Amino acid sequence: MSKTAQAADQSQDGPGGAEPAETEAPGEAAAETTPAPAPVAAEDQLIREGDVAGDYLERLLDLLDYDGDIDLDVEAGRAIVSIDGGEDLEKLVGQGATVLEALQELTRLTVQQSTGNRSRLMLDIAGWRQARREELTDLGRRTAEEVRDSGDPARMRPMTPFERKVVHDAVATVKGVYSESEGEEPRRQVVIFRNV
């Protein structure tokens, strides 16, 4: 008797036999012999992303001979990696955070290559993003209040996706106004309007 026929006989034997065939989805063939891997919990995946990113960034700091402490965290469904403490870290931010944005993209690609999943990881260096978040939150709130009071829409200067999200979140805290992003990268802008 072939192995397939033996397996079919055992599945009809009841409790002592193999897994019953009804565990398969309707219409699904029993061609696969290995069970599918268990899905990785979302938080575990984000922690793994942070670990891969931390290792990559640590190697980068070593190559550059820069000092810095790497901190890994998970916030709002996103891995957050921060590098603080070194004297040369401002060079890794660059003018207008262009170097920081490029490093974040390279780090995301490294994570994607390692995990097979697209990453939304956020990289902060020398506290630049946190300081910028506070500055943009204040600017977004003040501009939204001006639009609410005057009725005139306000178009802000072009911003990165990170900066636009911070402004949109700040505008959302002010009643009577809303915001939209307009334009194409890298000239995409936030526009704030008064509700009609």
- List the one residue out of 175, 174, 143 whose CA is nearest residue 159: 143
pLDDT at 157 over 60: yes
pLDDT at 145 over 70: yes
Query: Helix (H, G, I), strand (E, B), or coil: what is residue 30?
Result: coil
CA distance 64 to 87: 12
pLDDT at 169 over 60: yes
pLDDT of residue 105: 97
Query: In terms of DSSP bridges, do strands 69-75 and 177-182 run parallel, antiparallel, or are they unpaired?
Result: unpaired
Structure tokens at 176: 């009577």
Q: What is the mean pLDDT of the chain?
A: 84
pLDDT of residue 61: 96
The tens digit of pLDDT for each residue in 47-63 reads 999 999 999 999 999 99
pLDDT of residue 40: 54
pLDDT at 23 over 90: no
On whether the pTM is more than 0.85, the answer is no
When comparing pLDDT for 8 and 156, which is higher?
156
Mean pLDDT score, 19-35: 41
Mean pLDDT score, 115-141: 95
The tens digit of pLDDT for each residue in 105-122 reads 999 999 999 999 999 999
Instruction: Provide the 10 A C-beta neighbour count for residue 18.
Output: 13
Amino acid at 182: E
Structure tokens at 186: 């890298």
When comparing pLDDT for 14 and 159, which is higher?
159
Q: Which of 20-24, 124-128, 164-168 has the lowest mean pLDDT?
A: 20-24
